[in-house]
Amino acid sequence: MTVDRAKLAVLIVSYRNPSDVAHCLKSLARSRWKDFEVFVCENGGRAAFARLRDVVAGPDGALQQIAGDADPLDNPSGRLVEVVKCRFYGEGNVVRLGLAIDNLGYGGGINAWLEQLLDAPGWKAVLVLNPDTEIDEDCLSELMVKSAEGCGMVGGTLVFADAPDKVINYGLRWSRLTGRVVAVGRNSPAGSVPSDELLASIDAVSGACVLVTRAFVEDVGLMAEDYFLYIEDLDWGCRRGQHRIGFAAKAVIRHIGGTAIGSAVDPAKRSHLSVYLSARNGILYARRFAGWRWGCHFAVGLLFALRYLLKGSPRAAQVALTGLLDGVRGKTGRPDVALGLQNSDSWSLPVPTARRGIKT
Q: What is the DSSP string of 101-169?
A: SS--HHHHHHHHHHHHHTT--S--EEEEE-TTEEE-TTHHHHHHHHHTTTEEEEEEEEEETTEEEEEEE
- Decide if pLDDT at 336 tops 70: yes
Q: Is 198 exposed, middle or buried (0-12, 13-18, 19+ CB in 10 A)?
A: middle
Contact status, residue 157 vs residue 40, Cβ threshold 8 Å: no
Instruction: Name residue 358's beta-bridge partners.
Output: 221
pLDDT by residue (tens digit) across 241-253?
A: 999 999 999 999 9
From first CA to last CA, the distance across the chain in angstroms is: 33
Q: What fold characterizes domain 8-255?
A: Spore Coat Polysaccharide Biosynthesis Protein SpsA; Chain A (3.90.550)
pTM of the predicted model as reported, rounded to 2 decimal places: 0.90
8 SS3 class: strand
Contact status, residue 267 vs residue 292, Cβ threshold 8 Å: no
Contacts of 265 (CB under 8 A, 6+ apart): none
Distance CA 7, CA 214 (A): 10
Rounded percentage of the chain residues whose pLDDT exceeds 70: 89
> Dihedral sign, CA of 112, 114, 118, 121?
positive
* Region 16-21 average pLDDT: 96
- Decide if pLDDT at 343 tops 50: no
Q: Distance from CA of residue 118 to its chain's centroid?
A: 18
CA atoms within 13 A on the CB side of 334: 23
Contact status, residue 120 vs residue 114, Cβ threshold 8 Å: no
pLDDT by residue (tens digit) across 186-205?
A: 999 998 889 999 999 999 99
pLDDT by residue (tens digit) across 129-173?
A: 999 999 999 999 999 999 999 999 999 999 999 999 999 999 999
Q: Distance from CA of residue 148 to its chain's centroid?
A: 22
* 6 CB neighbour count, 10 Å cutoff: 18
CA atoms within 13 A on the CB side of 33: 23
Contact status, residue 316 vs residue 253, Cβ threshold 8 Å: no
pLDDT by residue (tens digit) across 273-311?
A: 999 999 999 999 999 999 999 999 999 999 999 999 999
Among 166, 346, 321, 340, smallest CA distance to 257 is for 166
CA atoms within 13 A on the CB side of 138: 9
When pLDDT is cut at 50, 70 and 90, the band that residue 346 belongs to is very low
301 SS3 class: helix
- Alpha carbon distances (Å) from 213 to 53, 92, 250: 29, 23, 19
pLDDT of residue 349: 30
Distance CA 360, CA 239 (A): 7
Distance CA 157, CA 171 (A): 9
